[in-house]
Amino acid sequence: MSDLRSFLRKYQDETITINEPLSRNFEIAAALKKFDGEKIVFIPEEKETKTSVVGGVCGNRERILKGLETTVDDLYLTLIEATKNPIKCKIGDGPVKEVVKEGNLSDIPILTHFKGDPGPYITSGIVYIKEPGGNLENVSFHRLLVLDSSRMGIRIVPRHLYRMTQSAKEKGLKELDVSISLGLHPAVMLAGSLTAPFGVSEFDVVNNFLGGELKLTRCEHVDALAPSNAEIVLEGKLRLDKTALEGPFVDLSGTFDVRRQQPVVDLVGVMHREDYIYQALLPSGSEHRLLMGLPKEPRIWDYVRGIVPNVRGVNMTVGGMGWLHCVVSFEKFREGDPKNVLMAIFSAHPSLKHAVVVDGDIDPYDMEQVEWAIATRFKGDEDILLVPNVRVSSLDPAGDQEKELGCKVGIDATKPMFKDQEGFKQAEIPMSKELEKILQKYS
């Protein structure tokens, strides 16, 4: 089964190796920012710990799709199918157990990213949890603030992991065992941001589209599972009786989220490969935004398919922080389709703030084309859908972040059908095969 290393070998030509010993304090974050959305950044020796660090692995859509050996359309169908039919992962040992020790967070090159950060943050960690004595499981990304050499503050938004902590508290439990895995193949990383029905392990969902090849291993210090070919796994006790101040953290928006009391995780063990690579992920960078947004696209695609048959693509845009903006391209058959499509998009992803719908001749992943469609096909007095006082994301600094209330705006940038369609056509320059070859030589 593919792991992070095999993926990095495959994409050497998209990797920048920085042989200077950059520091985990701001310097590696600055390098990730410089090549954001373009290159994978590999630092063979981080200054303080002499450990290898990699970041930006899932930095653009093309690389994620190539890495998964799929296309957008296939990915959506496969993810929908896989979510409905999870397959239990195999259990066994793997390279992550080359070193098993008590561990100390200060020996790990955990990055401090931004001026104003309260400390180093683990940002690419996937948390696995299993209900004690039961069958419910969950897998999700969570940022962890390093509090000292053995304690972390974990941000848990009220979703599935939160629900599991609440029911454990009601049963009188004081702590829950968790594994936090870092250094994974992009397909396995997706498990951290997918949503399966409550209680279903997202590792089993990913295992379906990996053809049953995902192997998990039992942790040595806690009752939890983790990918056997991860680079490093932190084994922890998620405390239900202890909280600490978490934040301020630079979230998807690139602005600071508020500080909150959040649960503490005690580190009780570490498993890692002999020469492990620490996986970094720049908060608010393209990778963060794509990993948040892309797994939401299949559901939007599915909802829109219920309204119009031919959907060209769905783009939870990186500029819209992978969370607040969505563009959908589809074949319009009736003049009234676009507003129904907009309503379907908003229902599929309630955190959304703005959605744009475009005709099938517009590439939804090319924002210059999308803007062109708005400029040439949209009329503000007729083609707008306004939904005031509605639930939006808490991450929108312009909204009421506590009540999660804001205004949704839908933009219909499709051609009006009653007007002569010729006037909306993009002009073309004739191109022969020979001319194409000649021009390719110069690109």
Ligand X SMILES: Cc1cc2nc3c(=O)[nH]c(=O)nc-3n(C[C@H](O)[C@H](O)[C@H](O)COP(=O)(O)O)c2cc1C
| Beta bridge mates, 178 | 129, 236
Could you tell me the smallest distance in angstroms from the CB atom of residue 441 to ligand X? Answer: 41
Instruction: Return all residues near 437 (Cβ < 8 A) that are at least 6 apart.
Output: none
Residue 192 sits in the site that holds ligand X (CB under 6 A):
yes
Contact pick of 7, 35, 128, 141 for ligand X (by CB under 6 A): 141
- Between CA 276 and CA 273 the distance in angstroms is 5
Q: Which is nearer to ligand X, 249 or 276 (CB)?
A: 249
Residue 296 sits in the site that holds ligand X (CB under 6 A):
no
- Single-letter code of the amino acid located at 54: V
- Between CA 201 and CA 226 the distance in angstroms is 11
Contact pick of 193, 279, 284, 315 for ligand X (by CB under 6 A): 193
DSSP 244-306: EEE---B-TTSSBPPPEEEEEEEEEEEEE-TTPEEEE--TTSHHHHHHHHGGGHHHHHHHHHT
Q: Which is nearer to ligand X, 143 or 312 (CB)?
A: 143
Residue of 36, 251, 337, 396 marked active site? 251
Could you tell me the smallest distance in angstroms from the CB atom of residue 436 to ligand X? Answer: 39
Q: For residue 44, what are its two tokens?
A: 């063979």
DSSP 6-41: HHHHHTGGGEEE--S---TBTHHHHHHHHTTTT-EE
- Residue whose pair of structure tokens reads 């009780």 in the numeric block: 268
Residue (of 298, 390, 376, 381) closest to 343 by Cα position: 390
Per-residue x/- marks for ligand X, 89-128, CB under 6 A? Answer: ----------------------------------------
Residue 34 sits in the site that holds ligand X (CB under 6 A):
no
Contact pick of 28, 79, 110, 281 for ligand X (by CB under 6 A): 281
Residue 165 sits in the site that holds ligand X (CB under 6 A):
no
Binding window for ligand X (CB under 6 A); candidates: 49-57, 133-141, 170-178, 208-216: 133-141
- Between CA 141 and CA 181 the distance in angstroms is 9
Q: Which is nearer to ligand X, 156 or 233 (CB)?
A: 156
Q: For residue 435, what are its two tokens?
A: 């001319």
Q: Which is nearer to ligand X, 52 or 284 (CB)?
A: 284
Could you tell me the smallest distance in angstroms from the CB atom of residue 196 to ligand X? Answer: 7
Residue-wise over 367-405: b if at least 16 C-beta within 10 A, else e?
bebbeebbeebbeeeebebeeeeebbbbbbeebebeebe
- Positions 232 through 271 that interact with ligand X (CB under 6 A): none
The answer to whether residue 73 is catalytic is: no
Neighbours of 94 (CB within 10 A): 18
Coil, helix or strand at residue 311: strand
Residue 292 sits in the site that holds ligand X (CB under 6 A):
yes
Could you tell me the smallest distance in angstroms from the CB atom of residue 254 to ligand X? Answer: 14
Could you tell me the smallest distance in angstroms from the CB atom of residue 48 to ligand X? Answer: 24
Residue 159 sits in the site that holds ligand X (CB under 6 A):
yes
Could you tell me the smallest distance in angstroms from the CB atom of residue 341 to ligand X? Answer: 24
Binding window for ligand X (CB under 6 A); candidates: 288-296, 297-305, 323-331, 380-388: 288-296
Residue 157 sits in the site that holds ligand X (CB under 6 A):
yes
Binding window for ligand X (CB under 6 A); candidates: 141-149, 168-176, 353-361, 400-408: 141-149
- Between CA 200 and CA 197 the distance in angstroms is 6
Q: Which is nearer to ligand X, 58 or 362 (CB)?
A: 58
Residues that bind ligand X (CB under 6 A): 138, 140-143, 155-157, 159-161, 192-195, 281, 288, 291-292
Active-site positions read 251
